[in-house]
Structure 1
């Protein structure tokens, strides 16, 4: 005796087909999503590379090649704060008046000023910034009968150059001459330490100098005179008041 199963529907069969169809649709969605993400990553990578290239080009334009910039700083002896004096290109360095006036003023103040207790320090400073011939003349003055130590009677008196002396700079009349000329006029205050009484003198100085940062120097000398400022001639005259 046979049984006919036509028209009989198994409850789990249709559900299996629905699950299979759902799985296929889910995989297709994953593939599409992955392709979309790949396109996004690819576009983002290209954009990032473009930004990087543009950044490098901008940086390259901001940093000029084969140029030397020298910056001088002043250190406040009391506060220790560093202040930039000026910034100049090497090829124009010897013509920078602001920088030259600073070195000239410091040189004259130490050479013409006098304090018995800082005499050695000032002496070393003047020699450091003097050419050999100028250093020889200065050394002879310091050790002669008219040395400041004799004139001011050791620690009895002090002498100080005014803070802002008149400094006029002019180039040499010869094109092949590297030296620059300078004329300085200043008031010298001479103080008697015991009485506090001040006397005043007026002096004129004519000097020549050069600034040569490109000259090779030992590291220790470079630290003391970084821009290689050198006085190459020095003449002084006292004004006579009638």
Structure 2
């Protein structure tokens, strides 16, 4: 049994929330019916179901390695381990921020950003996937617009980059709609073979913002977490 003095001292210790311990959990980005939030473990079953419903046809290979067509259990373990690695390895020197995308309350995919030496370079790269049942409705464009608004307005990015394989014109079209411009082409690995990969870059003054406002909560805490606090934030 704790002595009275110890019990009294413990009663006055501040109790931190999981959002205090891990600021990405406090991040919320909304734009009309779309919301983006950091993935929590409870999101995994619905996220896996969205991926298992299909992301692309058999003739398309939009990712560096083929993962979307795997059996559901394998797919779930792959997604979980990948997103847990982002969480475990997060630092201001190198981070990945996968955000669960919800449309009208339903999980439909992931929109994220990743960066290296962010306090110096401030040039994150965006990535995403979207379940096929809601593709073709402009949602992929809205997801990209929302995260780019967040990156420029909240994380004070200098530029945002993205990329798409040459045989994935739909992804390149989204980049152009949002305001990205071509930034070169190079060969990259895709399933252990070389594939042509187009690069795109977006500057703040070229960003095509969505018609509805993008509302962000938790931006200040995340700025501190990635090493870019504003002067009045310490």
Give the TM bin, normalised by the shorter chain: under 0.3
Calculate the TM-score normalised by the size of structure 1: 0.27
Q: Looking at both structures, which has the greater relative contact order when contacts are Cα pairs under 8 Å and sequence separation is at least 6?
A: 2
**Structure possessing the higher radius of gyration over alpha carbons:** 1
Whose helix fraction is larger, Structure 1's or Structure 2's? Answer: 1
